Amino acid sequence: MVTLTLNEEQVLDLVRQLPDERRAWLFQQLLQDEWPAWTELASYGQDRVRAVAAARGVNWDSLSDEEREERIDTLLHETS
């Protein structure tokens, strides 16, 4: 069996060559290894943001990233 030894920079260069969806998958896997509760928290956050948007008549999934950022900014600066 052949063993390949890479330094951290080489590993990072290889990861950066992955397609976006595979890099996202890898990032999630590493997060789950390091912080197992992250998956549950991320899922809860996604559910909540969809619910808050729906309560305001907005389909969260249909928004662009820019529109989502604007909505979040608006929500954070709302006065009760």
Per-residue pLDDT tens digits for 15-47: 999 999 999 999 989 988 988 888 888 889 999
The CA distance from 26 to 29, in Å, is: 5
Over residues 52-56, mean pLDDT: 92
List Cβ<8 Å contacts ≥24 apart for 39-47. Answer: none
**CB count in 10 Å sphere of residue 18:** 12
The pTM of this model reads 0.58
